[in-house]
Homo-oligomer: A and B are copies of this chain.
Amino acid sequence: MNAPMPSRTEEEPVDLGDLPRSVGFMIRMAQAINYESFFRTFEDKTLKPGEFSVIWVIALNPEIKQGTLAQTLNIKPAHMTKLVQRFVNAGLVDRTVPPEDRRSIRLTLTDAGRTYFSKHRAGFLKVHDTEGIGLTRDETEQLLELLQKLVFKGRR
């Protein structure tokens, strides 16, 4: 986390041309800013944004199948295995094998996991609120709507 972002500490101006008209480019840049703002604002530093969202979904969907979780959050199964292992080692998540399908694994928060979640839930959403992001409340709402449309394409 060196430069906050496209910092204009530079003497020489840089011409980006139409690059800021690429949705992909701008989303990448926005993510970097957001990541940085997360670490500046979020109280707890043990979990990173992506990890916290995994805990979030397990919290809201106890006994969720690991595969379903991976698919929902667009995380590759191989990577999900490692993430879950870390959570289990950290004592946040329990794994159970359901009798109906003994190939699958179901995930639930432990008491410690639930405590952790309750404690940081509000802060996790608030981090990306108006403050520190440079958008007004209305603009933030607008941005969220557009991103939701882009991501869920009417599925949700």
Contacts and interface: CB of A to CB of B under 8 A. Distances in A.
> Which secondary structure dominates chain A's binding surface?
helix
How many chain A residues sit at the interface, stated as a range, is 35 or more
Work out how many copies of this chain go into the complex.
2
B146 A142 contact: yes
Contacts of A17: 56, 60
Nearest to A7: B71
A50 interface: yes
Residue among A23, A134, A142 with max Cβ neighbours from chain B (10 Å): A23
B33 A31 contact: no
A11 to B, nearest CB: 9
A5 interface: yes
30 contacts: A6-B71, A6-B72, A6-B155, A12-B65, A12-B68, A14-B64, A14-B68, A14-B72, A15-B61, A16-B57, A17-B56, A20-B148, A21-B144, A22-B125, A24-B31, A25-B49, A25-B53, A26-B144, A27-B30, A27-B31, A27-B34, A28-B53, A29-B151, A30-B151, A134-B154, A135-B146, A135-B149, A135-B150, A142-B146, A143-B143
